């Protein structure tokens, strides 16, 4: 695959990196970045969060929620479109208005472009995650105009943060979960053609891990799927399915840390897995299960088990770089959107053929000359 390092080149690059034979830019973990910009610089709302991105036949579309502050009733779903290389200003496409006297905030939009079909936008409405409800709107013109909101069937939330994956039968497997205090993940199957929802399997009850949240699904060929989850266990959790999501294994810890913040991954065209997450390890100065939302990192893996560091998107101690959404477009390029200090949404385009992998050992981001891993004091908590 021309857009990814082949195995021989991969091993060579790792050796060169360790030997210090790469250019200085690699030392700062920025190799591969093509674009690094904000979706917008000015807006009518002060805060934003939970971005999502999709490729349409007419270009990229991004969405997020924005308003006075998360949980505030004026928080609405906003959309930006990339037109001729520039992002359009944010436009509100969904809100939580119930009637003349009642309004709820909106939450966690998720975009998905149905192959040959509509652009779908899933989102939630409610005063808080424990009692929010799933909704969906559709666009037939690549995000310019949208349908009236459709309520999802009772008990279904749709994809709770991260994008669905397309199954062999043409349906969507949606990574979802109950946030009513159980923080329990589950999976929902959406038959797009017949507009039908089915509840799928969920991991067996595991008393050791009570906090899985917001899974992202990776494809490993055949009927094998892997779901990686945010958690309070100071590590990204995982569960596997070997029957296309019908049943799942018990949860277990990966070797990657988690700060109880959102992650997202994508299976690249060559079968490798690329993950966006905060490589932030909670310590004794933080509340158990939490950690700084900085730095924001990319790691890559061939098998979903052994991971290699490839990129640092943000590493300022100011914190709050979070909730990434990541896709690979038809041209092989990788696109990421994420929360930038809760005030803006950052967009980054990455050329995966330029990534330089370095093995992550014992869950620690590799130390290299010219870069010192960030230590964030508790006062800067995100």
What is the three-state SS of 330-342? CCCCEEEEEEECC
CB 346 within 8 A of CB 319: no
Burial of 91 (0-12, 13-18, 19+ CB in 10 A): middle
Cα separation, 274 vs 271, in Å, equals: 10
pLDDT tens by residue, 124-169: 999 999 999 999 999 999 999 999 999 999 999 999 999 999 999 9
Burial of 253 (0-12, 13-18, 19+ CB in 10 A): middle
In sequence order, what are the residues at sequence separation of 6 or more whose Cβ sits closer than 8 angstroms to the Cβ of residue 85? none
Work out the pLDDT band at 9, boundaries 50, 70, 90.
Answer: very low
Lowest mean pLDDT among 112-121, 156-165, 356-365, 368-377: 368-377
Work out the pLDDT band at 377, boundaries 50, 70, 90.
Answer: low
Within 13 A of 33's CA, how many CA atoms are on the CB side? 20
Cα separation, 38 vs 164, in Å, equals: 25
Cα separation, 340 vs 67, in Å, equals: 15
Region at 238 (left for phi over 0; alpha for psi -120 to 50; beta for the rest): beta
CB 227 within 8 A of CB 175: yes
Average pLDDT over residues 28-39: 93
CB 49 within 8 A of CB 56: no
Q: DSSP class of residue 250? A: P
Residue 149 CB coordination number (10 Å): 17
CB 345 within 8 A of CB 339: yes
Please say if the pLDDT value at position 284 is more than 70: no
- Which range in 172-176, 369-373, 375-379 is most confidently predicted, on average pLDDT? 172-176
CB 5 within 8 A of CB 13: yes
Please say if the pLDDT value at position 48 is more than 90: yes
Which stretch of DSSP H or E encloses residue 218?
A: strand 213-219
98-105 long-range contacts, Cβ below 8 Å, gap at least 24?
Answer: 103/73, 103/74, 104/73, 105/65, 105/67, 105/70, 105/71, 105/72, 105/73, 105/74, 105/75
Q: Quote the mean pLDDT of the chain.
A: 89
Closest CA to 157 of 213, 119, 91: 213
pLDDT tens by residue, 292-330: 899 999 999 999 999 999 999 999 988 899 999 999 999
Please say if the pLDDT value at position 26 is more than 80: no
Q: pLDDT: is 264 or 6 the higher one?
A: 264
Which stretch of DSSP H or E encloses residue 9?
A: helix 7-18
Average pLDDT over residues 27-40: 90
- Which range in 16-25, 150-159, 365-374 is most confidently predicted, on average pLDDT? 150-159
18-22 long-range contacts, Cβ below 8 Å, gap at least 24?
Answer: 18/358, 20/369, 22/356
Closest CA to 111 of 92, 131, 89, 139: 139
Which stretch of DSSP H or E encloses residue 27?
A: helix 24-27
């Amino acid at each position: 695959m021309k857009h990814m390092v082949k195995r021989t080149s991969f091993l060579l690059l790792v050796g060169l990196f360790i030997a210090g034979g790469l250019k200085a830019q690699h030392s700062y973990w920025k190799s591969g970045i093509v674009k690094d910009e904000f979706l917008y610089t000015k807006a009518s709302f002060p805060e934003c969060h939970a971005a999502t991105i999709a490729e349409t036949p007419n270009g990229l579309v991004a969405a997020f929620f924005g308003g006075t502050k998360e949980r505030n009733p004026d928080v609405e779903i906003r959309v930006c479109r990339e037109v001729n290389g520039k992002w359009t200003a944010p436009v509100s496409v969904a809100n939580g208005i119930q009637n003349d006297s009642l309004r709820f905030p909106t939450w966690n939009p998720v975009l998905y472009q149905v192959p040959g079909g509509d652009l779908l936008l899933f989102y939630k409405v409610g005063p808080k995650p424990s009692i929010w409800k799933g909704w969906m709107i559709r666009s037939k013109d690549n995000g310019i105009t949208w349908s009236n909101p459709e309520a999802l069937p009772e008990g279904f939330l749709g994809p709770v943060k991260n994008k669905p994956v397309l199954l062999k039968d043409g349906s969507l497997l949606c990574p979802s979960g109950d946030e009513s205090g159980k923080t329990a993940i589950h999976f929902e199957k959406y038959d797009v053609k017949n507009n039908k929802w089915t509840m799928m399997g969920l991991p067996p009850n595991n008393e050791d891990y009570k906090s899985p949240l917001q899974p992202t699904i990776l494809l490993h060929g055949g009927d094998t799927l892997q779901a990686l989850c945010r958690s309070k266990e100071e590590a990204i959790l995982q569960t596997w399915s070997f029957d296309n999501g019908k049943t799942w294994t018990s949860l277990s810890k990966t070797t990657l840390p988690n700060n109880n913040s959102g992650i997202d991954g994508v299976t690249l065209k060559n079968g490798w897995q690329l993950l966006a997450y905060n490589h932030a390890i909670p310590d004794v100065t933080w509340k158990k299960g939490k950690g700084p939302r900085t730095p924001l990192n990319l790691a890559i893996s061939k098998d979903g088990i052994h991971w290699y560091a490839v990129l640092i998107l943000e590493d300022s101690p100011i914190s709050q770089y979070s909730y990434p959404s990541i896709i690979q477009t038809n041209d092989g390029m990788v696109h990421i959107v994420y929360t930038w200090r809760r005030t803006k949404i950052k967009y980054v385009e990455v050329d995966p053929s330029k990534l330089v992998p370095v093995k992550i050992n014992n869950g620690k981001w590799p130390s290299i000359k010219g870069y010192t891993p960030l230590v964030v004091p508790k006062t800067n908590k995100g």
